[in-house]
Structure formats: C-alpha cells, structure tokens
Structure 1
C-alpha cells in the first residue's frame, strides 16, 4: 500500500513539474489574479537564487568597509559616508542603494541613509560579522563548483582548517591554528547562547567540552552555573589559548585544560555531561564514530552528551543543507547530517535516549541530547 501511495505521489508531482515548466502555464499564472501571488513568489525565489552571490558580496562589502558601524549612530548623507568608507560619492551611492534593496540600509529624509533592520541586526552582532568576513574563502572555492564536486581541484578552505586532513594534528603550532581558532572563538557566543538557553547545565557537576577551542562555550556555561567544574579538550596549541580566557573569566580554579587529539587520545574522565560544539558535521562517519566512542569510554552510564551544530532537515533551517553541504565539501571532510543519521551514529557508539531540543534559532544551531547506556 505504501509503495502504491509513493508511486501515485511521484506521478502527481511529475505532472505538477511539467505544468510549472510550461511557458504557457507560466504566462497564464501571471495573468490570473488567483495564481499570480504564487507565480510572483516563485519568480522572487528564482531571482534570489540567481542573484544570491551578489547579495552576499554586497553584505561583505558593507562589513569590510564598516558601513554598519558608520550608521549605528544615526543616518548620514552620501558625502558624509563617502569620506568614512574611503569611496567616491558615486561608488558610495551604488553600495547604499544595493544595501537598501536588501534591508541592510534604509533611505531616510534629506538624501540620508540609515540602517535597515537587517543592517541593525548585523551591527549588533560582531560574531555574525566575523563569519561574513570569512566567506570570501568559500566563495573562491565555489567559483567552479562542478570541479569541486568532481574532485578536480583542491579547495583553499581545506588549508584554512589545517587539521582537516592532517594525520598528526597535535603537531600543529600556534601560527597554524590561530586564524581558524580566532574565527571559532568569535562565532561561539551566538551558539553558546542558543544551546545554554535550551539546556540547563546547572544540573550537572562537571562539563567537558571536546574540541572546545579557546573556551568561549565553557566560559558561558560556567557563568550560568557557578558550581560547575569544566574541562576543555582540544589540540595542545588550541587548548593553551583558553588559559588566559579562563583566568579573565575568573574560572581558572574550577577549570581543567587538556591538550590532546580527541580521535586518538584517551579523554579525561569524571564528566557527567559532554558537549560537542560544531564537531560531528566536520567529520566523516568513521571519524565521527571514533569521537563518539572515545567520549563513551570516558563517561559513566547515564552521562549526558550534547551535540550542538546545524543539522539537516530541521524545520526552519532547510537551506543549511546547501550551505554546509558545500562548505564541508570545500573543507575536505564532513557533511551535514539529519537528526536520525546522528542518532544512528550515537547508537553505534553506546548512546541512546536521544531527543532534539526546541530552540529559538535552528538556522544557527540545533541541540541533540543523548544518554550514555
């Protein structure tokens, strides 16, 4: 019966697709008042897909030139902005008109421009701006996406994340890890706020963040739970960068910093909750299983594991499949996974009782909880 329904739906969708592709139907739908709304919506979506790269470049230019910072104090004229941005008046107006069309800027009275609603959101979010300024690396690799899909070119992004194909990652020095470590640290506050708002870490004694970078997530967790002890595990050169952050946050006395390779080295024991923040989607299945099994070996039955990352197919975050699918392709390792695919990896690793938490911004991250069995 199920196969019959699937076949019937396939035939129905094939008929729909042929109809939408028919130029006569397209003209009719634009002329028909009832169908016009849907036709215009499809046309706008097609425009966004076609022009999306240009939109991203406008955003990047606004971020790189400091447009949002210039407008945060109030609207300015083209002449005033031209001096601040280091552009000619003509180029400034072109950028402002483009930004206004995307709600990054807004035309105001007297020939002035202010922040648009999206521009204001970016102005108040330095972490998001750091990610915007990182995008040209990915865009360069996507200049020929077909070659990338066919494996005919090595993406430059793979070199930005040097651990992605290194057999001895612990040999990396500070100079090699500094760029990506700083980017991860800059973008972590947004993720930490989402995850810690969805899950109460104060019910636990010790939290271990595996692949914890410079300790931004652990600082946020420790601030929410004053009794919580924290353990950070990352490559030696990365983990050492967390020491100054922990000291500044006043949590060094309840923190343990461990340099190691989470794929190969035994992990510190004693944690009753472990977090993996944007780690699993950077790994292929074999390496993801190695990480999860290593964590399971370090915790007692009943311990909690939080997987915190963008996940495929989550309602409200569907376009992330396109972004993370090609980002991980350029990086050279990993893929976005559906919740059920992650749950299968967890079961193979000795975890069960999984549940996906509800959170405000699934476009930023999802939070999957599992228990060690």
Structure 2
C-alpha cells in the first residue's frame, strides 16, 4: 500500500468516527460556520432515504402525461385534474410533490407549468420512454434483498429483455432506439469514422446509430449484425444500402469486410465469458489495424458512479445478467481476446455515453 493510500485510509477512519459521534453532530449543527455543511449532509442522507418516493413521483408524472399537457400554456390544478380524471385533491398531492422536485413549477398566478426537469424531459422524450417502463424494475425491487442476492428468479425485467423471446423483439428494440439517438450523437461527436471505409455495428438493434452515421459519413459503407428478429426491423428502417446480417454474436461468425466495429451498450448486458466471446469474434473479424469502439456506461468514473454502479448495477441485477465494468476490466477482456490496446475516448456527456477505442 502506498503512503498516500495509507494516509487516505487513516483519514476515512477519523472522518467516520467523527461523523458517527452524537457529540460532534450536536456541535456541527450548533456551530454557525459548520451549520450549512451539517444541513447539506442531512439533506443528502435524507435524499438517499426518500429517493424511491422521488422516482415514483417522476414515474406518476410521466405516466399521467403531465409533461405533455404542460408543454403549452400553464394549467390550473382543477384543469389538470379534469384532464387526468382524478379528484382535484388527489392530484394536488402529486402536483405539489412534482413541484418540490422541480419537475413542475408554479406560475405567478398559481397555475402549473414545467419545471427545469420537466422541460428537460420534454426535450428528451426518450428519457420519458425509459421512465415509463420502470414499473418492471419497481416490481422486481419489491424485495431488494431477494433481487440482489439472486434468490428472486421471476424478474419482470429479465422477461422483458429476453433476446431469445421473439415476441419481445419489437418492444425492447423500440425502447433501445428511444435513447440511441442521444448516444449516437455523443459517439459521432467523439470519434472520426471518416478515416475508415466500412463500419459494422455489432448488436446494432434497429439501426438508429447507423442511420445517424450514414447522415454524417455518406461515403462510409455500413453493415449491421443482430439477432434475426431484430435484424428484420433494422432492414425495414435502413433500406437496401446497409448490409444486414442476422445471427448471434455468441455463436455465429461475424461477416468480414469492415475495418471499424462498434459495440454500443452490449457488453454490459453480458457476463465476462460472453463478453470475451463477443470480443474474440470481433477481433477475428477485423483486419490488422482494425478498430473497435465500445460505448456504454463505465464503472470507476467518479462523475457517473451513481448512474453506472447504483442505477445500472441494480438494473442488471433485475435483468439477471450483465454488469458495468471499468475501462481496465474491459481492457483485460480485450487483451484476452487478442487486442493489444484499450484507450478511453473523452465524450461531451459521460452521463449519456462513455467510450473506449480498442485495437
């Protein structure tokens, strides 16, 4: 252990003993210079306690269509209640909660309009689509200990994301496509695909990323590989100028020809053995000097840790497979697959997408 690491560990021990001391807690709230810090920490701790109710308020607001209703003129509580079909008093509880979370806002006349978060949702409708499907996750989280320990087997999210279940192909593909435009924009802003001649999107879903890449790089040859049911959806969306290859990247050989491949929000859905199979298939498919771009939430980044490790970590537990990984963990899997280098690519918004260049 380094001296810096040992010093940091000693500091953590001292800090934790101090924060756990009732005497220090009393001092911190009574001593004026410390009081703002004590209040801030109390609020942060309570937010951890109350976070589940916050998410339910957000879910209810989206499901009732309040974001859509309030994109126009502000509406009074009774007017919103009439549209929703709820008693005004019942809806008022939700409206007050949504205002407190800055999803909605009160105007000077006492009517309701969009708050900061509500306006952001209105401009990013794909987020609302993800929120709307969270009832599956909430059901799975009814007993979080059973979910996280693996004792719960009949998870709703696991059933929904079962890629081998053809009846779900259209549903999960539409949900993935809802957010793919934002992810595609980050990828195309961070990496220049113009230096390549052919791109293959492995696990390319309905082709949303390739459609965006085609607009940016019309000279680039494009191909997509995904399960047959999903590939058919991509074929309809992309037309005949994109090569569509149906198959499973876990069992089938990938088509050769591309000198750059993308793997977008795929690796974190699978266990290490499966990721190694996918990376090995891509390495075998790429020519010498070929490039693989991996885009997904990465663990180990302080700015996005609650998203990658708390949200996605729990989400994948409900899915029954997959996990977020650090860049180093993905690099080790890539090395085992035969790649020689893994480099992080800076993106404009790592909350939406983090990226790695693997060669």
Match of 1:266 among 253, 256, 273: 253
Tell me the equivalent position of 2:103: 104
Tell me the equivalent position of 2:162: 162
- Check 1:158–1:115 CA distance in 2 against 1; reply closer, same or farther (3 A cut): same
Tell me the equivalent position of 1:85: 84
Tell me the equivalent position of 1:189: 181
Matches of 2:175 and 2:160, distance apart in 1: 11
The runs of at least 4 aligned residues of structure 1 exceeding 2 Å deviation read 2-12
Matches of 2:235 and 2:11, distance apart in 1: 60
* Pair 1:348-2:328 in alignment: no
Match of 1:211 among 203, 209, 223: 203
Q: Does the CA-based 8 Å contact 1:314-1:362 persist in structure 2?
A: no
Q: What's the TM-score, normalizing by structure 2? A: 0.96
For residues 18-50 of structure 1, the C-alpha deviation after alignment (integer angstroms, 9 at most, x for no partner) is: 110112211211111221222112111111111
Matches of 1:191 and 1:238, distance apart in 2: 19
Q: What's the TM-score, normalizing by structure 1? A: 0.92
Matches of 1:269 and 1:148, distance apart in 2: 41
Tell me the equivalent position of 1:166: none
Match of 1:246 among 231, 238, 261: 238
Matches of 2:127 and 2:37, distance apart in 1: 32
Matches of 1:338 and 1:346, distance apart in 2: 12
Tell me the equivalent position of 2:262: 275
Shift of 1:281: 0.7
Tell me the equivalent position of 1:136: 135
Tell me the equivalent position of 1:148: 147
Find the residue that maps to 1:316 and give its secondary structure: helix
Tell me the equivalent position of 2:46: 47
Matches of 1:244 and 1:345, distance apart in 2: 34
Match of 1:290 among 277, 287, 296: 277
For residues 329-364 of structure 1, the C-alpha deviation after alignment (integer angstroms, 9 at most, x for no partner) is: 111111111111111111111223322111122112
Count of aligned pairs between the two proteins: 357
Which runs of 5 or more residues in structure 2 are unaligned? Answer: none
Shift of 1:317: 0.5
Q: Does the CA-based 8 Å contact 1:317-1:363 persist in structure 2?
A: yes
Matches of 1:82 and 1:306, distance apart in 2: 48
Match of 1:178 among 165, 170, 174: 170
Tell me the equivalent position of 1:316: 303
Which runs of 5 or more residues in structure 1 are unaligned? Answer: 164-168
| Stretch of structure 1 that moved more, 87-96 or 52-61 | 87-96
